[in-house]
Amino acid sequence: MDIEFNKNEDQNKQLLFQLRKKLEKVKLGGGEKRIAKEHQKGKLTARERIDYLRDAGSEFLEVGALTADGMYEEEGGCPSAGVVTGIGYVKGRMCMIVANDATVKAGAWFPMTAKKNLRAQEIAMENRLPIIYLVDSAGVFLPMQNEIFPDKEHFGRQFRNNAKMSSMGIIQVAAIMGSCVAGGAYLPIMSDEAMIVDKTGSIFLAGSYLVKAAIGESVDNETLGGATTHCEISGVTDNKYDTDQECLDAIRNIFDKIGAYEKAGFDRKEPSKPKKDENELYGVFPSDRVKPYDMRAVIERLVDDSEFDEYKKDYGKTLLCGTARVDGWAVGIIANQRKIVKNKKGEMQMGGVIYSDSADKAARFIMNCNQRKIPLIFIQDVSGFMVGSKAEHGGIIKDGAKMVNAMANSVVPKFTIVIGNSYGAGNYAMCGKAYDPRLIYSWPTAQMAVMSGASAAKTLLQIKIASLKKSGETITPEDEKNLLEEITAKYNEELSPYYAASRLWVDGVIDPLETRKVISMGIEAANHAPITEKFNVGVIQT
């Protein structure tokens, strides 16, 4: 191993250490004292419920663990947006699990809570996955109700999704394991089956205090909407259980008797590990984001047997396209190449930039994968499309549009891993969040923005200085330096993968060694949803 490899490994492992510390904190939810209070009530926490529910020793792919990270600080924070979501296995059946975290503001819904719940439902709907709701929520966080209540992608959208999933034949099972109030009461009752834990679970449109204020009736919450009321009198819930564990056992019994699902038919063979050491990912991926490297070295440590069959290897060299297997699944890979390379005319091309020939190659490769029913993996480390008169005269916009068109209209499932830069239109062409990847995760080394931090800071500085000078203010070199530092710090914060994960621009930040797991579980989930659309790119200029 050379010095550069060791330097990369050290810096990438430092980033990984920071990620682990963040996740450890997030997984404590509202903190150890709040966890102890839940235990005193005889309740399990959200994460304990998921661990008990899913099959022992099985994988769990968390979605949105870092949602709301660094947000809502004035309200005391909202770790993981107060809800735990992810893909797991119950009695051998892959499913989406959604569990309110009552240790965080009593499980109240913040704006990002709604966004995260809708993302979980979106994944279930796209992949036809059964969904389990473990309900324990005080309802909408009232001080922010204007940001969560009335709009299209707000609180009410989840109930619309309940109805849509039911019509699609997607199994929905709910357990009321704590509070379930107001509009939130519709979620479990619009599910196929709703169960409730006695004495700790309750469900009503209005609690006792509101009932007293509204109609003058005095009634306690247990009589109003407890397990006995709804299982024996109203019939709102189906069965009651004495403990969280008994209720979760009942869900497992339901899943034990579910029939087989129709498959999309993606190809899978016996999985193999990469022949090249996966742990070397930390060393082969550079810590310096402008330093050239060979993306093949990354791919070979992600794919089975380190075998990657390249498409048009000698054409459009700033994009690598080819087929491989990941954990046995056949995949088509499109990855940015950050090496400085020569094109077919012998001209030098910058790494990380998409040129006309690269875009043309990728568009054709995407069409081939759709023809052959092969899922697509996009590995992003992209600075954007090539600019300048030569690129414009060569039709970069036309060729870039061709790639975006093919990618956007792709009917095979798409998955995106952001490992480095994700700038400008490059983010779009390489299947950013706006283009419906089934899953999108980033490494701790990722950055997402319109342009790089250095370029953006200088541009913003010029705009700021021009504005100040127009107002008649005198700007000294020291002022310029301070302004640049201030702008750079703000922009760098927004470039962070944690900033993106907090806002669900990505589904999470992962250890590079988890990349194979994300792709494999993602394709397994997608295999639950047969492809019913025909691939049609519409109008493409050639």
pLDDT tens, position by position, 358-384: 999 999 999 999 999 999 999 999 988
Quote the CA–CA distance of 540 and 405 in Å, as a whole number.
8
Q: Is the pLDDT of residue 484 over 80?
A: no
* Residues 6+ away with beta carbon under 8 Å from 175: 132, 133, 134, 135, 188, 194, 195, 196, 197, 201, 247, 248, 250, 251
What integer best gives the mean pLDDT of the chain? Answer: 92
298-322 average pLDDT score: 97
Give the pLDDT of residue 287: 78
CATH superfamily of 32-256: 2-enoyl-CoA Hydratase; Chain A, domain 1 (3.90.226.10)
Give how far Cα 522 sits from Cα of 94, 204, 220, Å: 11, 37, 46
Of 46-55, 214-223, 403-412, 516-525, which gets the smallest average pLDDT?
214-223
pLDDT confidence bin for 147, thresholds 50/70/90: confident
- For residue 52, give both structure tokens: 């008990």
Question: What's the whole-model pTM score?
Answer: 0.94
Q: Are 171 and 191 in contact (CB under 8 A)?
A: no
Q: Is the pLDDT of residue 294 over 80?
A: yes
For residues 214 and 444, the model is more confident at 444
Give the pLDDT of residue 392: 84
Q: Is the pLDDT of residue 446 over 70?
A: yes
504-529 average pLDDT score: 98
Residue recorded with tokens 């090539």: 386
Q: Is the pLDDT of residue 498 over 90?
A: yes
Give the pLDDT of residue 1: 58
Of 349-363, 437-451, 481-495, which gets the smallest average pLDDT?
481-495
Q: Which residues pair with 447 in a beta bridge?
A: 421
Ranges of each domain in the chain: 1-30+263-446+506-537, 32-256, 451-495
Share of the chain above pLDDT 70, in %: 97
Quote the CA–CA distance of 402 and 407 in Å, as a whole number.
9
SS3 237: coil
SS3 118: helix
64-73 average pLDDT score: 96
- For residue 84, give both structure tokens: 């735990």
59-63 average pLDDT score: 98
The CATH number for 1-30+263-446+506-537, chosen from 3.90.226.10, 2.60.40.420, 3.40.309.10, 3.30.70.20, is 3.90.226.10
Q: Is the pLDDT of residue 453 over 70?
A: no
Of 26-40, 280-294, 323-337, which gets the smallest average pLDDT?
280-294
Domain 32-256 in the same topology as domain 1-30+263-446+506-537: yes
Note the pLDDT tens digit of each residue in 194-214. Answer: 999 999 999 988 878 888 888
Q: At what angle do helices 453-470 and 477-495 cross, to 10 degrees?
A: 140
Q: Are 366 and 407 in contact (CB under 8 A)?
A: yes
pLDDT confidence bin for 99, thresholds 50/70/90: very high
Tell me the three-class secondary structure of 312-341, residue by residue. CCCCCCCEEEEEEEECCEEEEEEEECCCCE
Share of the chain above pLDDT 90, in %: 71
57-75 average pLDDT score: 96
Q: Is the pLDDT of residue 69 over 80?
A: yes
Q: Is the pLDDT of residue 540 over 70?
A: no
Give the pLDDT of residue 541: 64
Note the pLDDT tens digit of each residue in 221-260. Answer: 888 889 999 999 999 999 999 999 999 999 999 999 999 9
Quote the CA–CA distance of 155 and 113 in Å, as a whole number.
9
Encode burial over 180-203: b for 16+ CB neighbours within 10 A, e otherwise.
Answer: bbbebbbbbbbbebbbbbbebbbb
For residues 147 and 128, the model is more confident at 128
Give the pLDDT of residue 280: 97
Give how far Cα 168 sits from Cα of 129, 157, 172, 266, Å: 11, 16, 11, 21
Note the pLDDT tens digit of each residue in 348-361. Answer: 777 789 999 999 99
Give the pLDDT of residue 542: 62
DSSP state of 230: I
Q: Is the pLDDT of residue 132 over 90?
A: yes
